[in-house]
Amino acid sequence: MINTQLDFVSIGEVLIQLNPLSPGPLRYPKLFETHVAGSEANMLIGLRKLGYTAGIISRVGNDEFGQMIISFLRGEGIDTSKIFVDPEAPTGVYFIQRHYPIPGQSTVFYYRHGSAASRMSPDDVDEDYIKKFRALIITGITPALSDSCYYAVKKAYEVATREGLDTIFDTNVRVKLWKDLNKAREKLALFLKSKIVLTNSEDLAVLFTGVSLEEAMYRVIDLGVELLVIKLGEEGSLAITKNYEIFKVQAFKVPVVEDVIGAGDAFNAAFLASVYKGISIEDALRYGNAAGALVITTRGDVESQPTWDTLELLIKKAKKEQSLIR
Ligand code: KDG
């Protein structure tokens, strides 16, 4: 690796996604596609496509899926030197059930309990490695995998804070992984003090029970967050700054041809790429919405993530068609 400062580092589980070629209940499809996925890796790949350098701390099993993940990430230009191949546990996988029971929505089924990545611990977090980067991206998924994963993320966060990296947190509350939501609230509280927080209304309702979306939003800002982004799906996205300035941008209207999984990560990547490039928050939201919209038109979380040229093209086309972008 080169010796200059690198951009984004993350820690999390990279999984094999098994996505059926046909929608509907999972007991019927005979053919499945494999994709490399996982929220943290998805974001890093999105950022790579937009010109940033990126590295991930993770573990995979000593199996073919683990090799597939490492090769894929390398192919996308992610630094994989901190992915430990664990001989004692398998690579995690998950299945997606598309358009059923609710058309347009997907359900995930995880087979990741006891996976190699769930065995990460603070020992996987190399302080000198983190110090090479400008920003740390974490999500609420990794702390849900195991206690040792929680402590690994906590260490990464503390090193980043101490060393002056920007901290970026996507709440990504996975109810299926936490089971006990009190635990989620307790463990994720620390990361809600990150410099940039990305979330959605469902996660805020879990993290701040019994308060309105607006109230929850202000509570996050009052924790010292500089920029809070709320992804509103079909309603677009909203950002609020530490000075209580609010920006809201309409969504790109696209049909959910395949599945919505991964749209939030693509949004994050394009939004962050824009903000770090000095683009205005309002336009950054637009780029984020466009990237999220692209991802739901194909299977897989990252294959449709855009380059700058693609983003420009989309925005231009939407403006020309007098779309809902204002
Ligand atoms: O954001 C997309 C992710 O949800 C998906 O790729 C799998 O990371 C994943 C998870 O834990 O749900």
Q: How far is the CA of 316 from the centre of ligand 1 (A)?
A: 30
| Residue 325: band (very low, low, confident or very high) from pLDDT cuts 50, 70, 90 | very low
| Residue 326: band (very low, low, confident or very high) from pLDDT cuts 50, 70, 90 | very low
Q: Residue 87 phi/psi, 5° resolution?
A: -75, -10
Q: Are 238 and 248 in contact (CB under 8 A)?
A: yes
Q: How far is the CA of 38 from the centre of ligand 1 (A)?
A: 4
- Cα Rg for the chain, rounded, in angstroms? 19
For each of the domains in the chain, give its residue range(s) and CATH number, in order of start: 6-324 (3.40.1190.20)
CA distance 163 to 278: 23
Q: Are 258 and 295 in contact (CB under 8 A)?
A: no
Q: Which of 11, 15, 120 to mutate to test the pocket of ligand 1 (most atoms within 8 A of CB)?
A: 15
Question: Which atom of ligand 1 approaches the CA of 40 most closely?
Answer: 8
Known active-site residue 147: no
* Dihedral sign for Cα atoms in the order 58, 62, 63, 67: positive
pLDDT, tens digit, for every residue of 193-236?
Answer: 999 999 999 999 999 999 999 999 999 999 999 999 999 988 99
Q: How far is the CA of 311 from the centre of ligand 1 (A)?
A: 23
What is the model's pTM? 0.96
pLDDT, tens digit, for every residue of 281-296?
Answer: 999 999 999 999 999 9
76 lines ligand 1 (CB under 6 A): no
